[in-house]
Amino acid sequence: MGLLSKSTEYALRAVLYVASRKDAKYVSIREISDELGVSFHFLTKILQRLTRKGLVVSYRGPGGGVALARPAGRITLMDIVEAVEESDLFTSCILGLAGCGEKKPCPLHGQWARERTGLGKMFRQTTIAKLAGHVVRDKLRLADG
Amino acid sequence: MGLLSKSTEYALRAVLYVASRKDAKYVSIREISDELGVSFHFLTKILQRLTRKGLVVSYRGPGGGVALARPAGRITLMDIVEAVEESDLFTSCILGLAGCGEKKPCPLHGQWARERTGLGKMFRQTTIAKLAGHVVRDKLRLADG
DNA sequence: CTATTTTCAGACATCACAGTCTGAAATTGG
DNA sequence: CCAATTTCAGACTGTGATGTCTGAAAATAG
Ligand code: FES
Ligand code: FES
């Protein structure tokens, strides 16, 4: 099992792609799906979700597409993950028990809570701007190959 | 998405339960499923996998059940996870790209690789004995409620 | 206005994981 | 031997995530 769902993976890659094309006003979903090598229709549904959540704005018709709703420096990985994934990764018990907390911990609670906090920090502190800049400067990939 | 699959969660809980019943020779799957509150048949399939992988030994007939194949101090969480999960969590790209490594990193590689290493250490260094001891001494739960 | 482009919306299909069920094989106790 | 107990094996079903398809709605260009 991967850490993130396919939907979240695609969402992150798509947003990073849009952010790395700072010059463009709107980027069409068709262009994104072609560049990332993922299904157009599936990506459309995912981006619609980001649109409804207010992370990206969209525009229909020729020259339309999607754009970030606010500066990439104010969008974190956690924003995206929370928008598309209904995951309790950062709050739930690693053994799947009901209610994770200090009151009734499972035997793994201590160690998992520490790792989870580290992961949460990474997702909350890393912005799209930082990663997109990395993509542009170092020509990092957002697709296979 | 949780970090572990249901199968892995059940496997860990079952092994911890067996380890925390040091006095017993064999623990029946029925007893385990009752205590953990999970499906008997489903748990059976999971424990059969652990048996085939050589992590537990089983015995049929009255008084039969499963037991750890070696001292709990020499079974790590990673042993269990690798036995039941065909997960690449500790080797694959967090964006799902083909081939994760320094040669062709994705923009998240650096940060994810660090977190992943921490997680891997936790799973490799934590033994069943340590956690089961914790369960017995502090009466920690392995089931809901 | 008309044709084209593009997102929006939702139905439908596919697939892997989770869970259920039935019966066979092994072991024990009487 | 016989009956009860328990694991082993595999077929079957349910469910949610993934992926595909068709058409409507909005915007642009001519
Ligand atoms: S109770 Fe299990 S991780 Fe917190
Ligand atoms: S290439 Fe993406 S995490 Fe290593």
State the angle between helix axes of B77-84 and B40-52 in degrees (0 to 180), rounded to the nearest 10: 110
Which residues have CB under 8 Å from B52's CB, separation 6+?
Answer: none
Write phi, then psi, for A41 (nearest 5 degrees). -65, -40
Q: Domains in chain A, please, with CATH?
A: 6-138 (1.10.10.10)
With CA atoms as reference, the chain A residue closest to B108 would be: A131
Residues of chain A by 3-state class (helix, strand, coil), percent to 5: 50, 10, 40
**Using an 8 Å Cβ cutoff, are A89 and B92 in contact?**
no
Q: B2 C-alpha to center of ligand 1: Å? A: 12
Per DSSP (E only), the strands in chain A are 56-59, 65-68
Checking if the pLDDT of A22 tops 90, the result is: no
Distance between B110 CA and the closest CA of chain A, angstroms: 11
Chain segment B44-81, per-residue pLDDT in tens: 999 999 999 999 999 999 999 999 999 999 999 999 99
State the nucleotide closest to B42 in CA–C1' terms: C19
Structure tokens at A76: 């974190």
Global pTM value: 0.94
Interface of A with B (CB under 8 A): 1-6, 8-9, 12-13, 16, 77, 85, 87-89, 92, 94-99, 104-108, 111-112, 115, 118-119, 122, 126, 131-132, 134-135, 140-145
Beta-carbon pairs below 8 A across chains A and B:
111
Structure tokens at A112: 């998992």
A30, A31, A34, A40: CA torsion to nearest 10: -20
* Radius of gyration, CA atoms only, chain B: 17
Q: Tell me the CB-side half-sphere exposure of residue A138, using CA atoms within 13 A.
A: 17
Which residues have CB under 8 Å from A82's CB, separation 6+?
Answer: none
Along the 145 residues of chain B, how does pLDDT read in single tens digits? 789 999 999 999 999 999 999 888 999 999 999 999 999 999 999 999 999 999 999 999 999 999 999 999 999 999 999 999 987 899 999 999 998 998 999 999 999 999 999 999 999 999 999 999 999 999 999 999 8
Set of chain A residues whose Cβ sits within 8 Å of the Cβ of B16: 107
